[in-house]
Structure 1
Amino acid sequence: MIDRDTLHHHLNTVLEAARFKDYGPNGLQVEGRVQVSKIVSGVTASKALIEAAIEAQADAILVHHGLFWRGHDGRVTGWMKQRLALLLGHNINLLAYHLPLDAHPTWGNNAQWGERLGLAADGRFGDQDLGFIGPAPAGLTLEGLTHLVASKLVKTPTVLPGDGRPLKRVAWCSGGAQGFFEGAIAAGADVFLTGEISEPQAHCARETGVAFMACGHHASERYGVQALGAAVAQEFGLAHEFIDIDNPA
């Protein structure tokens, strides 16, 4: 068991939350009970995850996508009321870390995703150094990388093949980082992996010859939060359960 504020301070410190300019607040978003003995981790603070955490008798929920984002008008109605009512009614803490969890060199989404694909970063790029880049494993082809991603993420990626060049450098950034494609190209990548694709990336891949792979926003961000939850649970003797709420995006 750990005190809620001690857990919050530990996570803020480990993830260096204060140094990031983010789209919403990182840290404790909804205050629940003081003592925490079980954590449920998940990608997004959806109603389905909150209900599953209640069923699992969690004291705290740790997520990558929290409830509050820049641009929300602040009204507690509809889906926001439903989620908050469940959290407050069951006295459950909600802790959310967005960019800090993408960037962390060990427990972050990019570090954990890269590890599963056999990729090791030797450089960073993009806004706040969120993008990872490193050498391609020997003999890796675009076809082989496509099969590897599909196998590990259990999701078929959208692939823009570029000009078919050999893969010497691989860049990746989880989630909605399609806007980092030009930065990955400038950093020397032969292929860039992220979660989503928008209209401009197709033209950019054709015109530069650098391959682009959209692997799924949710699929590419399942690993950081569960690794962090497991690490915190082990350090403080807590129970931990990762609950994956399916999301096709």
Structure 2
Amino acid sequence: MTSPGRYASSDGSFARSAGGAAARGGILIAIAIVIGVLLLWQGFDGGEPTAAVGDGDDAGADGNGGTSGDDGSDDGSGDDGSDDGSGDDGSDDGSDDGTGDDGTGDDGTGDDGGTPGVVVDPPESVKVAVANGRGEPGLGSSRAEALTTVGYVAVPVNAASFDNELSRVYYTAGYEDEAKQVADVLGGGASVLDAAPADPLALVAESSREQVADFHIFVVLGSDQVLG
């Protein structure tokens, strides 16, 4: 005996029931998607940034974040390393102290370390005998006055003879430079300079030798009139 089958109601209630179930299912799916998105967003917002802060900057700052962090490179080979090692403090100080002004300048080869200049006695400490060697009256006095005017201790005397042709400025030991200055004052030059003989008093008349016994320079005025 065959049981009778089920048939949809002719009033459309089954269709309405199926449509309502589908609508509710769609709403539930939409709600589930929204909840899932919210959960994912909260997860990224709360978890990942915390991990980045914990493993990133803090790790590098504490020295456990590897060898390529900002602080690691700055301390090792960055600005601080190069500035202290080979910057201004390194190369500048080395070159200035080694070969600069202090190394080879004035202190090394300048005036302080070079050959000292010639020291010439002042005129007032130099004694000059001016001998009339050609017999012209007043000649020795006039030329001696030219020397005393500039500070020399000059005394006019007669030469040992009056037949001297060449004018000469004789100097005793250590007074060559002073004799050059005396010759310049009298209008001569280096050509009239000559070392005094062993006994310079032999250049003057015997009557004047005692007067000029300790003199340094002896001028003989000859007939060439080079010295006046």
Normalising by structure 2, report the TM-score.
Answer: 0.24
Whose Rg is larger? 2
Q: Which has the higher strand share?
A: 1
Answer 1 or 2: which has greater helix percent. Answer: 2
Larger RCO: 1 or 2 (CA < 8 Å, sep 6+): 1
